[in-house]
Amino acid sequence: MVAVRAARADDSRSLWEWRNDPVSRENSHSSAEVPFRDHDAWFTHSLSSARRRIYIGLDENEARIGMVRFDADATRALVSINLAPDARGRGASHPLLEAALDAFHLDRPAVVEVIAEVKESNVASLRLFAAAGFGRVGSSDGVVTLSRSL
């Protein structure tokens, strides 16, 4: 069982730790380690952004297991997912992504398409998005673009 809630200020440190995890950095478009001060400023701005939604995944014990971020315009959104390192390999990514897609669709019903941009080397994320109904629509410079209608 995975539930999601909107991100809060007290989630900043967890997201920063997950972002700087070596596996996360390897699969990210930007692999550099991010200083906490920079992350916290970005996160604080993100929480007040009208275009961005961040959802925190919670397991049955209400422990944080990951995050899903959407950056949206009027009808399309770019999605990104990151699991907490200790949640990997437990089958949580698909339920987390689906719960976040449902929550986002309720929050932003005008958005009709969600796009994911995944490094070709990130086989786990490519499988995740395919299992969630995202279809490949292109690739460039080692990044695969996938799309799903809401």
* Alpha carbon distance 88, 98 (integer Å): 16
Q: What is the pLDDT confidence band of residue 1, given thresholds at 50, 70 and 90?
A: confident
Is 32 in a helix, a strand, or coil?
A: coil
> Against a cut of 0.85, is the pTM above it?
yes
Q: Tell me which amino acid residue 139 is.
A: S
Q: What is the CATH number of the domain that holds 140?
A: 3.40.630.30
Are 4 and 28 within 8 A, CB to CB? no
State pLDDT tens for residues 45-65. 999 999 999 999 999 999 999
Expressed as residue numbers, the domain containing 125 is: 3-149
Q: How many domains does the chain have?
A: 1
Whether pLDDT at 9 is above 90: yes
Neighbours of 97 (CB within 10 A): 26
How many CA atoms does the CB half-sphere of 41 hold within 13 Å?
Answer: 4
Range 62-88 average pLDDT: 97
* Alpha carbon distance 80, 133 (integer Å): 15
